[in-house]
Amino acid sequence: MAINRRYMLKTFAALSACQLVPPAFAFNSNELIIGACRLDDKNFAVSAVDLDGRLQWQLALPARGHDIALHGTQNIAVAVARRPGQFLVLFNTISGKTMHVLTVANHCKLNGHAIWVDDTLIVSSSDIKTSKMRLLRFKFIGGALELMDEHNYDYYGPHQLERFGNNIYVAIGGLKTNERDVTNKEDFESLILKLEATTLRKLKAYPATTKHVSLRHLAIDQTGQVYVAGQYQLAVDQSETLLFRLDNNALQPFNAPADLWPKLKGYLGSIRCINEKVIVTSPRAHWLGIFNSNTLTLEDQLFAHDICALANSPKGIVAGTGTGKLLIGDNMMNSHVIWDNHFQVARIK
């Protein structure tokens, strides 16, 4: 899964000259890239393509999705609505067939992310009026999801969740929102929350070290090291540091030049770890960056229009764009799928 440095300094124009692979319904693959996408201005779906960029199946969604949560041992996953949506769609990752569609309670708005703990699905949500944090727990029983309970916390705007061992880390953005509008961008508290995975009991909170950066996305490497990406809420030309490592119970900023963050429009969309590298994307800046996870310094970058989604695969890092492109290892191809902000690589078991 090594990153190939040959392509990392190329511009998108040069990359687009690479061979484009047309979509085609193909036989089953051992690995599938599965993620939310847009079909047109009013229709949305989950798409699955193989590592050669060939479309395997598409599953229509009730509205725009954000991320999917893959089950650890079964060929199932859940698509989660983009904030402030309220749907969850459970589906089979081999066939793409819907197993269960449900709508959460009227007092909840979903924040686009979820994670499995064995057969329990933990879903990031907020109170629809106050944006106060709620984690919803569902049990996978008889081919469907059944709500077990809700856990309330005195924080606002939870976003991505990641698990390592018996711990779950949650990026708490701190934002209060009315639909998509942020109502407290001048004054909010963002942090990383560490929970016990099976009880969701709070273990530790790690406050943000910047004032106006909303911590949104997480990646955890194979050693358990946590990395955090954020989004600046005020004028982007004044953006503070957006990327951090959790060290000694504190968030340590990456060693990037101060002018990098304004160039990235104060926005990081996805983050992944692979082979002592931290990969981040900024779709607003059409930018992908590779940082050294030891020195926390920027080593390489590339530019691709509306690049955001990231996943690890046997062929290397996978990145997707809102223009239908896929970057897999050292190849750029055309999947003809308008990818949303996140996708996953599922190994068909």
Q: Which pLDDT belongs to residue 202?
A: 98
Q: What residues form DSSP beta bridges with 230?
A: 215
> What b/e string do you get for 96-134 counting C-beta neighbours within 10 Å, with b at 16 or more?
beebbeeebeeebbbbbbbbbbeebbbbbbbebeebbbb
Q: Which pLDDT belongs to residue 27?
A: 41
Q: What residues form DSSP beta bridges with 278?
A: 273, 291
**Side-chain-facing half-sphere of 139: CA atoms under 13 Å:** 6
Q: Which pLDDT belongs to residue 12?
A: 32
Q: How does strand 98-103 pair with strand 87-92?
A: antiparallel
Distance from C-alpha of 272 to C-alpha of 316, rounded to nearest angstrom: 12
Report the top-level CATH class of 5-347: mainly beta
How confident is the model over 195-210, as pLDDT tens digits? 999 999 999 999 999 9
- The neighbour count for residue 301, using CB atoms within 10 Å, is 16
Q: Which pLDDT belongs to residue 1?
A: 34
Q: Which pLDDT belongs to residue 349?
A: 78
Q: Which pLDDT belongs to residue 25?
A: 38
Distance from C-alpha of 159 to C-alpha of 91, rounded to nearest angstrom: 22
pTM over cut 0.85: yes
- The neighbour count for residue 242, using CB atoms within 10 Å, is 27
Distance from C-alpha of 140 to C-alpha of 123, rounded to nearest angstrom: 13
Per residue, what are the HEC states of 304-335? CCCEEEEEEECCEEEEEECCCEEEECCEEEEC
All structural domains of the chain with their residue ranges: 5-347
Q: Which pLDDT belongs to residue 29?
A: 67
In three-state secondary structure terms, 117 is: strand
Residue stretches of the chain with pLDDT short of 70:
1-29
Contact 138, 99 (CB under 8 A): no
How confident is the model over 75-98, as pLDDT tens digits? 999 999 999 999 999 999 999 999
Q: Which pLDDT belongs to residue 348?
A: 87
Edge to edge, what strands does the sheet with 226-232 contain?
213-220, 226-232, 243-247, 250-253
Q: Which pLDDT belongs to residue 336?
A: 93
